[in-house]
Amino acid sequence: MDYPQPELPHIYTASLIDEVRDLAPRAEPGHYEELRNSSGELASHWKTFFEQLEPTGLADLDQRTQELNRQVRENGITYNVYADEFGPQRPWSVDLFPLIINTQAWQEIESGVLQRARLLEAIMSDVYGPQTLLKEGLIPPALVHGHPAYIRSMHGVNPPSSRHLHIIAFDLARAPDGSWSVLSQRTQAPSGLGYLLENRNLIARQFPKAYQAIQVAPLANVYRDLIDSLKSQSPAGSNAHIALLTPGPYNETYFEHAYLARYLGLTLVEGGDLTVRDRHLFLKTVKGLEPVHILLKRLDDEFLDPLELRADSTLGVPGLLQVIRAGNVILANAPGSAFLESPALLGFLPGISERLLGEKIQLPAMDTWWCGERAALEAAIPNLGMSAIKPTYSGAPGHEQYEATLGASLNQAQLDEWVGRITRQPDEHTVQRYIPLAQMPVWLNAFNLNNASLIEPHSYMLRVFALSNGSDSWQVLPGGLARIASSDPGIASMQRGGSSADVWVQSHHQTAQEPLAPQTLHKAPISRKRIVTSRAAENLYWFGRYTERSENLLRLAKFYLESVNADYLPSKHLWVWLGSLCTQYGLVPDGVPSNFEHGDAHHRIFERTLIDCLGHWQHATSVGFNLQAMKRTASNVRERLSTEQWGSINACIDQFQADCHKATAFQDFSSSLAIEALNRANSSLAAITGAQTDRMTRDDGWQLLTIGRYIERLSFLTNALDKAITSGLLNNPNADSSGYMALLALFDSTITFHAQHQQSREIEPLVSLLVLDDENPRSLAWVTKALRARLSKLAGTERNHPDELTSSVTNFQNYSLDELCTLDSQGNFYNLRDCLQNCANAAWNVSDEISARYFNLIHQNHYRVQT
């Protein structure tokens, strides 16, 4: 019988709270302090948090930080920082401690954000409708018609359910007195919804007891309601197809796009994946055109439609605005909302709220002056030293652009210069009063502080989100994204090297806990197969090819290095064969001597060159380049890969890069270290290919991935065997067995051969195993048989009635062993070579036809609408 266990007393709690109080400095003067209350004691919710760290207390926080950073790397969470001197992409930065918001503070935020969401939707309806606000002078025309983000062609367009906005982000600051104010609002393509989910997964895992004790509000229901709301507004209803439109993998927040698509169960698409037909939006897939009913966009409006907006855009969809005007697609958010993001608008919202809602603003904005009005300009100039100077039309072509600047950071000469700039072009500038940002506790681990860990206050801004949950209602996501300043306490920006924090909101009451977000929130209807876009299909196909190609190159390089360092002297034919293969596949550049007659010196030059080239990431045929190409194609389909699979890819490349550097670190390059690097990489690739085989759904995308691998394998093995014949490697296998064994090793078939044929050195057993054995996955018969099966499955044809493409692949049932081993009068295996040539031609032809049929969509009869 199980007896209840007595609860252990928190015998260390008092001392731990004292330790936290002593270890954490007070917030800087003038900043609100999240950690402590007005009496200097730990705030009750923070006290609860630290109480749950028993019995280890603060002792293992460094270890938790290392675990957190490891998880970020393994999950491949990145943020592309354009101004980062170390490159455009860096791991996502999240602090160990969450920002904790108690119930009372959250109620203030929630009610104010809900009102502002209703207000912004009302403004959109008015500005693109009757334009009452402009007629009554409540909003200057320069901030609407004069704003480049206002889309005139959308005036008079009434979106489905009369809903323009579905997702709005608000950036908040907490004043020294604890009250909240709005700094900015984002309506065009607000970022953060994916990153905050990852933050929640990471931090809740580090502090599960604290998460439960604080009763953190769950997030999933609000996301689910957003998707249900969008579908309810579509004529297709619950069967509506929702896609998430991304600018692509070079966008700064692409990780988030892929993560959200996977979490919400959406199709991740780029502009090139979509097409307009008869004022409807369609997705190009390997099976034809699929209708798209709802588009969740993460693309700025100006790039949406090159026919009506920015003509040089390659990111959008020609004709998309026409589809929207016809009411045939829901765009979240509707195009033309970016003018709402201008900081100049904030100062006019109180009056607009009273006019449109009949309500006073509950959640105020910071005092804001648009300098395009003389009275505001005269009020702003004296306050410049205590304010932030912002561009009115941020990011808009033809308008002045600059980073938001704090007047407090300027000397008098610089302030005078800004006064001149503002006076010359007053409408281009908006001045917003600056308040010192509130400060939250962050953990600085010993690694960064010379073995002295510390809790330190850092300034932060809070981004919260309002999401639609019906045709005229909103929810505020109970959480958010805290952006933590690095060194400058006045600026909290990820672009400027800041960090982030999870946001824990205390529930109003006891709730069912959701410490970890599920992998997928929404699943497609059971009757619907997963859609594979042509772009995703092409990337999966090349993901398979680069994986197989990398494996082939690793095996070839390893075998060469082992041969050149073997105890025995390889034969001339073996040198010729290996050297020609290494040169042909680019492991060694053309011109490097490898002739047998030139002796050991040339072999060593060839060896050193091969080792040196292994990790050359810019060399288009190196192992390193192909591994990076594998990663690049995989990154383009991140939403289809598990976290473990993506982590394996990153770990493989990082380890291989480090190993190659070690192998070439000294003047005498190390063959043994290079072989170790190749062995480790080969083991990593085995895990990656295993995940491809066992961890991916057998949809059309997987079929193409596998086809890519088989095409690459067929081409490589066919060429290797043909060169073995032409180099004379198999002329006299009984007299010289090194070539015989080398071929078995390259085909990864040594163990199988010995099990079946013991020590035989005859040609017939070799050809039987490497060519005709359809149970050996490295034989040509097995590869072609598997390739035909995949092609047939992809084409949707039966094996008894294969299509022309499937039939073009060599069928080894048509060949006999005696036929392939027959020699002509000159002693050549003419039938075998003819067969190998047929295989090589088939590989190239299938590759070309796959591209034409599924990627480039040249066959118009295939390019049909699915109903």
Q: What is the pLDDT of residues 176-221, one digit of tens each?
A: 999 999 999 999 999 999 999 999 999 999 999 999 999 999 999 9
290 and 155 co-located in one domain:
yes
Mean of the per-residue pLDDT values for the chain? 87
User: Is position 405 within any domain?
Assistant: yes
62 and 112 co-located in one domain:
no
User: Is position 530 within any domain?
Assistant: no
19 and 83 co-located in one domain:
yes
- Whole-angstrom CA distances from 480 to 100, 157, 173, 332, 496 are 11, 32, 13, 20, 20
678 and 737 co-located in one domain:
no
For residue range 547-595, list pLDDT tens digits in order.
999 999 999 999 999 888 877 767 788 888 998 999 999 999 988 876 6
User: Is position 5 within any domain?
Assistant: no
356 and 402 co-located in one domain:
no
Last residue of a domain, one of 668, 696, 724: 696
For residue range 719-748, list pLDDT tens digits in order.
999 999 888 887 766 556 777 888 888 888
Confidence of residue 115 (pLDDT cuts 50, 70, 90): very high
Task: Summarize the confidence of residues 628-648 as an average pLDDT.
Answer: 91
497 and 634 co-located in one domain:
no
For residue range 538-549, list pLDDT tens digits in order.
999 999 999 999
CB count within 10 Å of CB 194 equals 22
Tokens standing for residue 754: 């010995």
User: How far is it, in rounded angstroms, from Cα 36 to Cα 703?
Assistant: 58
646 and 688 co-located in one domain:
yes
User: Is position 170 within any domain?
Assistant: yes
User: Is position 513 within any domain?
Assistant: no
User: Is position 647 within any domain?
Assistant: yes
Last residue of a domain, one of 650, 666, 696: 696
360 and 496 co-located in one domain:
yes
Check whether 687 has a pLDDT greater than 80. yes
640 and 664 co-located in one domain:
yes
Min mean pLDDT across 192-201, 682-691, 742-751, 783-792 is at 742-751
592 and 670 co-located in one domain:
yes
Tokens standing for residue 747: 């085909």
User: Is position 141 within any domain?
Assistant: yes
Task: Summarize the confidence of residues 288-314 as an average pLDDT.
Answer: 94
Confidence of residue 853 (pLDDT cuts 50, 70, 90): confident
Strand 274-277 vs strand 78-80: parallel, antiparallel, or unpaired?
unpaired
Last residue of a domain, one of 485, 505, 525: 505
Nearest partner of 196 among 114, 268, 253, 245, judged by Cα: 253
User: How far is it, in rounded angstroms, from Cα 2 to Cα 616?
Assistant: 61
User: Higher model confidence: residue 489 or residue 629?
Assistant: 629
Task: Summarize the confidence of residues 122-146 as an average pLDDT.
Answer: 97
SS3 256: helix
In this prediction, residue 510 carries a pLDDT of: 59
Task: Summarize the confidence of residues 170-176 as an average pLDDT.
Answer: 96
Domain interval for residue 61: 13-91
Tokens 């929130």 correspond to what residue? Answer: 521
Helix 254-264 × helix 220-232 angle, to 10°: 80
In this prediction, residue 518 carries a pLDDT of: 47
Check whether 502 has a pLDDT greater than 90. yes
In this prediction, residue 808 carries a pLDDT of: 87
- H or E segment and range at residue 332: strand 330-332
Confidence of residue 10 (pLDDT cuts 50, 70, 90): very low
User: How far is it, in rounded angstroms, from Cα 386 to Cα 371?
Assistant: 16
Nearest partner of 659 among 668, 669, 667, 645, judged by Cα: 669
Give me the number of domains the chain comprises.
5
Min mean pLDDT across 124-138, 237-251, 682-696, 802-816 is at 802-816
383 and 326 co-located in one domain:
no
% of the chain beyond a pLDDT of 90? 62
User: Is position 3 within any domain?
Assistant: no
Confidence of residue 798 (pLDDT cuts 50, 70, 90): low
Check whether 7 has a pLDDT greater than 50. no
663 and 795 co-located in one domain:
no
Count CA atoms within 13 Å of residue 532 on its CB side: 21
Task: Summarize the confidence of residues 140-160 as an average pLDDT.
Answer: 94
